Amino acid sequence: MTLLLRDAERAAHLQRLSSELAARFRADAARADAAGELSEASMAALKASGYPALTVPTRLGGLGATLLEVAQTQETLGSGDASAALIAAMNAHLLGSLAESGGWSQALYAEVCRASVERGALANSLASEPELGSPSRGGLPATRAEQVPGGWHVSGRKTWSTGVRALDFLVVSAATPQEQVWRFVIPSAAPGVSIQPTWSGSLSLRASGSDDVLLEEVFVPDSHAIPPTPSHPAGSAWFWTAVAATYLGVGQAALDALKAYAWERVPTALGQPIATLPKVQEAAGRMELELLAARSVLHAVCHEWSEQPGGRAALLPRLAAAKSLCTNAAVSVTDQALRVAGGAALTASLPLERLLRDARAGLTHPPSDEQALAMLGRGVLERE
């Protein structure tokens, strides 16, 4: 009974934390999107909330959230603002996956975790580059790391640096002269780090501040250099889950916005809200079913992840498929919401046009739909 009570209190705390933060995100989402800039108010709220310590292990003072809890809280944040929620997601998946996979020295991991607990510090992995594109497709980064006395000099350009102006730590991948890919944990204020504003005018996530980062002979001490480590299923699992849940929240926000509009909209010829029309009710039911199905699959696989620590690699195809299902559900639901709302959805009076644009970004995160389905299909077709 005590354990159940503790679990209920924890669930209520996480729900309250994410709901309050989502409300703060929502309050500035439209303005930040219109301005095409990172929301300082949302980032200040994020850092002050304690959410950056969500996936920090309890032994280091964090909340020690499970994969399922990250799915639940990130969906709530995504319903507030995709741009701000994605910045939170990048930090959550990085620290959560490292808790399972290791790969960093204990001292370095503890340093970053303590900063998240004590001052709401945020970290993100910077891996994409102009020529390389996403590292998920393979290839060596153009960013170079040269060994010098006491450490390394890192030089290069990184793209898609989500939330970079709010970050405290940059986890940068770079190739050594031996063509090995190392990672380097760099304070965002380190000499030689500069931000190039390249994100203005983007289709989606206009308030995510995903600008380019230039690194010019940035010195990184040996203690903050991470040599190549064997791949671990946790890296993909936590990233895919955090991304899937964030965009699922965008789809939920679209349905919520449509519901509010459907009760407010009373055409003269109808004399009652359009929410009473069977056609609108059918559309809302279809949208709800898509979200329910995607959420159920994601949560089921996340639950299995926690219950089967010995067989997690076998769950990766299903997590990849869940990511595909969730992001496509968000695209479908936002599109349907605009169709039902009609012309009003094209204006800033409703958040639907922003939600439609943001939902599209979910398709660009790895794994792509074809990769996810191929992973799942290979498992189906394996000979026993």
Give the residue-averaged pLDDT of 19-40. 98
Query: Taking a C-beta distance cutoff of 8 angstroms, is the pair 166, 38 a contact?
Result: yes
Angle 339-347-211 from CA coordinates, rounded to 5° = 105
302-339 pLDDT, tens digit each: 999 999 888 899 999 999 999 999 999 999 999 999 99
Residues ≥6 apart with Cβ < 8 Å to 160: 128, 210
Residue 139 has pLDDT above 90, yes or no: no
Rounded to whole angstroms, the Cα distance separating 374 from 380 reads 10
pLDDT tens, residue by residue, 141-165: 999 999 999 999 999 999 999 999 9
What are the tokens at 307? 């219950």
- Cα–Cα separations (whole angstroms), residue 4 to 12, 57, 300, 324, 359: 12, 21, 20, 33, 36
251 pLDDT higher than 50: yes
The percentage of residues in the chain with a pLDDT greater than 90, rounded to a whole number, is 93
Identify the pLDDT of residue 1: 47
Task: Count CA atoms within 13 Å of residue 117 on its CB side.
Answer: 17
What's the CA angle centered on 268, arms 267 and 271, to 5 degrees? 80
Question: Strand pairing partners for 173?
Answer: 183
How far are the Cα atoms of 42, 46, 94, 245, 258 from residue 355, in angstroms, in the given order?
A: 17, 21, 26, 15, 11
Looking only at the bridges linking them, the beta strands covering 181-187 and 169-175 are: antiparallel
Secondary structure letter of residue 122 according to DSSP: -
CB 158 within 8 A of CB 129: yes
Give the pair of three-digit tokens for residue 353: 């046009």
Residue 284: CB partners within 8 Å, gap ≥ 6?
255, 258, 259, 262, 340
- Vertex 244: Cα angle to 253 and 368 (nearest 5): 125
Both tokens of residue 130? 């102009």
Task: Round to whole Å and give the CA distance between 318 and 240.
Answer: 11
Please compute the mean of the pLDDT values over residues 255-276 and round it to a whole number.
Answer: 97
Q: What is the number of alpha carbons within 13 Å of residue 99 lying toward its C-beta? A: 25
DSSP string, 243-261: HHHHHHHHHHHHHHHHHHH
The one-letter code for the residue type at 61 is G
- Residue 5 in this model has a pLDDT that exceeds 70: no
pLDDT tops 80 at residue 138: no
With a CB cutoff of 8 Å and minimum separation 6, the contacts of 165 are 38, 195, 209, 211
Spatial separation of the C-alpha atoms in residues 356 and 378, rounded to whole Å: 32
pTM metric for this prediction? 0.96
Task: Convert the pLDDT of each residue in 209-236 to its tens digit.
Answer: 999 999 999 999 999 999 999 999 999 9
DSSP per-residue string spanning 268-289:
TTT-S-GGGSHHHHHHHHHHHH
CA–CA distance, 162 with 123 (Å, rounded to integer): 10
User: Is residue 78 a contact partner of residue 42, using CB atoms and an 8 Å limit?
Assistant: no
CA 40 remoteness from chain centre: 18
Q: What is the mean pLDDT of the chain?
A: 96
Work out the average pLDDT over 35-39.
97
CA atoms of 275 and 281, how far apart (whole Å): 7
